[in-house]
Structure 1
């Protein structure tokens, strides 16, 4: 997922021929589609087994992307060596089986147990904060303001999940499950820039999706989801939501994101990290009446402020070193 960053001259040449309208169109696509995937997950797991639905999503999306690359680039389009394949598979398992799979589990279940989609998105927004901690643990020394952003962000996380003593309190088990998901996603994002990955991010994503789908399918079978799965009992809206996740979340938004990485300033592209949660919260409230309590507003605002501070203080380092703070062509996605 981490291909070598384009040279400054190459980026300047690409951006010179790219209109602001195209950039903002692609950015809005990423904002809205990735932000909406949390709600789509909630609708999908209403009648579909959670991990099985995630396995189907990434298997289909990965196969479609593989076919497109094969048709456009020829027989050798997907060729990688064993080390690259193993690296992509490891990152895919961390991002998709661990990261996305745990989010799907957290959003499944009856009311009062399932985590609202908007709150899941706010908790996932802590990924850049966790990546900073991983960098620090391996000897990197981010700027002081970056650590200030991490502190602010985690203070918001505590505010968000603190027991409120009301029926609208955030389900603690679901919240901790999403924190574990964000931790897995952070490890995958962190490793993707430090191990030998396929040089083409599209090719890397094919193997990541397929590896993640395989692990999700195995765990799904171990949980007995396959024996409980009856297609006739799945609602039309769950099938539609799954299709939306496959196409809009895993293919369209992903393609727009990779295009942005090559045609827009990384500081602008990175704004998805704190716009997506706002979109998810708004859609959850408008479309499925998820509660927005003062606690959610306060905790969410503090988390987003912390992430914004981290992203903004990392811009000079990214421009000079070509590093990416927890960003990945696969959303998260989502």
Structure 2
């Protein structure tokens, strides 16, 4: 499957998860909602791989990398982002999270000594400006505490670290599907321990909307989307893959137009155009090798 399809699926699916997350957290505590999501995702992913006999034996060091991936991509980052969402508008949160591409470039330089694409900076500048214009009304409200902004930035940075760890997981020789399945198991365990420490009320929601949303977040939103996203990281580099976070709000607001009657103002339309233009700037030369984290030895087999 072409990497452009993986990129497109990542943007589409994660753009749709915004609505599913809202439906989920309306029926259960936030931390417990994330826990249920990754318990379901880990159970399905691990169960299917075991059924088709695609679970390789892994050594202790490989499992160590998967624990780190579970902590950065499938647990702690979600806890931080959801904490931020409790005290800031969704628009401001989207703007902060769209910094993931810059965090990826910074972390790649700090930890892997790799130079990001020269087109990244103008593309991200266009993208972040576009996201800010999309949520201009939210930003004018100024509804955010200093703590919530720190939580959002920390969650985005932690997510970015998970992007780099996924590269180390691949270099450790772990097939992608098996790596994601085990990392989700460890992420669910971390979330479960956190819920116990926090004394969360262990409710079991009975609404069909909660479990429908959880199933969407677990299977397309976690198993499929993270597979696609990590494939993009391993093919194009984490800096370019991170630009997908700029396009999520465009998809989310398009869905909101249909479900909630979101009205596209001139400012919002301009924001969407700038976000898409930034994507064009970043990928405008098809076939040009991506700088950053791409390696001729990296393949994307499952």
TM-score by length of structure 2 reads: 0.75
Stretches of structure 1 lacking an aligned partner (at least 5 in a row) = 1-13, 16-22, 330-334
Tell me by how many angstroms 1:102 deviates: 2.4
Tell me by how many angstroms 1:169 deviates: 4.1
1:85 aligns with 2:57: no
CA distance in 2, matches of 1:165, 1:154: 13
CA change 1:27–1:317 in 2 (3 A) is closer
Partner of 1:282: 254
From 100, 115, 125, the equivalent of 1:141 is: 115
1:185 aligns with 2:163: no
Partner of 2:213: 241
- 1:94-137 CA distance string (max 9 Å, x none): 11212223233334x4xxx4643x66455433322211112233
**Paired residues of 1:145 and 1:309 also in contact (CA < 8 A):** yes
Stretches of structure 2 lacking an aligned partner (at least 5 in a row) = none
- 1:41-85 CA distance string (max 9 Å, x none): 1211112111111112112211211111111126xx231111111
**Paired residues of 1:115 and 1:174 also in contact (CA < 8 A):** no
Range with bigger deviation, 128-137 or 48-57: 128-137
- How do residues 82-121 of structure 1 correspond to structure 2 at under 5 angstroms? 82-107=60-85, 109=86, 113=87, 115-116=89-90, 120-121=93-94
CA distance in 1, matches of 2:177, 2:39: 15
CA change 1:197–1:212 in 2 (3 A) is farther
From 191, 207, 223, the equivalent of 1:251 is: 223
CA change 1:285–1:115 in 2 (3 A) is farther
CA distance in 2, matches of 1:291, 1:220: 38
Alpha carbon RMSD of aligned pairs, Å?
4.2
CA distance in 2, matches of 1:259, 1:105: 25
Range with bigger deviation, 39-48 or 130-139: 130-139
CA change 1:122–1:322 in 2 (3 A) is same
TM-score by length of structure 1 reads: 0.68
Tell me by how many angstroms 1:209 deviates: 0.5
Secondary structure of the corresponding residue to residue 174 of structure 2: coil
